[in-house]
Amino acid sequence: MTTGLQLSEVTKYYAEGSNRIAALAHVSISVEPGEFVAVVGPSGSGKSTFLSIAGALLKASEGEAKLNGHSISKLTAQELADLRLKEVGFIMQSSNLVPYLSVLDQLLIVKKMSGKVSKEDKAFAVKLLEELGLGSKLNSFPEELSGGEKQRTAIARALINNPGIILADEPTASLDTKRAHEVVSLIAHEVRTRRKAAIMVTHDERMLEYCDKVYRMEDGRLFEQ
């Protein structure tokens, strides 16, 4: 079974009045386990649609998207939801933490969504947070964290289900330069040591040094730089 992420000739149309607008046009990309890829491009170039298809949030109009060997187009809505939970870790622009949950519980709630939380799950969550420098913050709430700590919590949460695919959408948008480097170097480290296929959409050219490949998106088309 092929692992990682494969998009093959993916096109996504949206209806606008009686017209069809192609938000993505014949996009093909393959990201292997342990590979960290960046996608750059102006607003409105199709990056969000691309990430939504890569993360099984949207189905392509044409072409095929495969996540860890699963073909998205053939799945029901429930199967897609299960696939997202098990196979995809999302890291968003703002950390999207739940305000009333502690740092540790931000991770355990993801585990609860897929069943009950075992002792092993809790131990793995603690280990992840310690690895990301949050060992002293397990019982802290989001309002007590810095921007960098919130994003590190979000990275740990993306990894808690041990997904095959990590998708980061502008993960440094709300961070200063030092914190931005810290966060992206951590993502890169986790991707390589844990063998995840990872894509980061970014406007931040300074972060490209951490990536194995850089693609540019323009008018719904993807080009390797």
The pLDDT tens digits for 37-83 are: 999 998 889 999 999 999 999 999 999 999 988 898 888 989 999 99
Distance (Å, whole) CA 170 – CA 115: 30
* CATH number (domain holding residue 33): 3.40.50.300
Domain count, the chain: 1
Distance (Å, whole) CA 175 – CA 213: 23
Its domain, for residue 179, covers 5-224
The pLDDT tens digits for 8-48 are: 999 999 888 888 888 999 999 999 999 999 999 988 899 99
Say what the pTM is: 0.91
In the chain, the percentage of residues whose pLDDT exceeds 70 is 100
- Asked if residue 142 has pLDDT above 90, the reply is yes
Give, in order, the Cα–Cα distances in Å from 126 to each of 2, 91, 114, 134.
Answer: 31, 19, 18, 9
The pLDDT tens digits for 101-122 are: 999 999 999 888 878 889 999 9
- Asked if residue 155 has pLDDT above 70, the reply is yes
For residue 201, report the phi and psi dihedrals to the nearest 5 degrees.
-90, 130
